[in-house]
Amino acid sequence: MIFLNDMPGRIPLIGERFPEMEVQTTRGRFRLPDHFRGKWFVLFSHPADFTPVCTTEFYAFSRRYEDFKGLSTELIGLSVDGTWSHIKWTEWIKEKLNMEVPFPIIADPRGLISEMLGLLHGQSATHTVRAVFIVDPEGMIRSILYYPQELGRNVDEILRMVKGLQVSDKFEAAMPANWPNNELIGERIIVPPASTVQEASERIKQYECYDWWFCHKESPSEDAEMARGFLERASKII
């Protein structure tokens, strides 16, 4: 792997540009984040190849690959194993579980990328935790999730997060808890807080509000229905 720029001596944060790097993957050499310019992408790390929990996650991500594509979102995996191990593992998943792994996997046998992205925690100095980076079309990090090694990820929740961030960008709003099934405002979205006294006094006239600092508005029902579908699938075995 080749690092392209001098990197800061700390892990990247939400709201920063994803670090520029060149990586070797099972689908060739990529330059991140530019390889996915114009699209969202989700980078997710796993502790090691040929492990049971990771295998269930790869099956789940692969099964939902078209859902991510429908959100103009690409997937890319990472672990501290080499390319040959990644290839053999994906062959095993196809042969034994009848599931093609359609996304690339980054090889990081020396752990340099994992260390730079903050994926090596106190749990293990050699295996990555289950991290998730959601990156927007401009290469900006929009969300970072960390799961412990022993807990598999909820892939449908990651889909809901991507959809929610896209809706937030489109309508300049925030998503309430459990969106689109919020207990207070349902599938409606939250208007950003007022920044001036005049704007605060006008808010209640413009929107439905609990108070001037807590106002909400409608968004297209199809966006909410898509997100709701992800949640419903997550709540049951299909």
Estimate the crossing angle of helix 221-234 against helix 155-171, to 10 degrees.
170
Beta strand residue intervals within the chain, DSSP E: 2-3, 21-25, 28-32, 40-45, 73-79, 105-107, 130-135, 141-147, 189-190, 208-211, 214-217
Closest to 134 in 3D by CA, of 157, 111, 112: 157
Which residue of the set 23, 32, 42, 54 is catalytic? 54
Helices marked H in 82-154: 83-97, 112-116
Pairing status of strand 21-25 against strand 73-79: unpaired
Residue 111's alpha-carbon distances to 49, 92, 178, 211, in angstroms, are 14, 24, 35, 50
Closest to 107 in 3D by CA, of 90, 77, 89, 83: 83
Annotated catalytic, 209? no
Closest to 74 in 3D by CA, of 109, 108, 34: 34
CA distance 66 to 47: 25
Helices marked H in 123-216: 155-171, 197-206
Q: For residue 101, report the phi and psi dihedrals to the nearest 5 degrees.
A: -90, 110
Catalytic residue numbers read 54
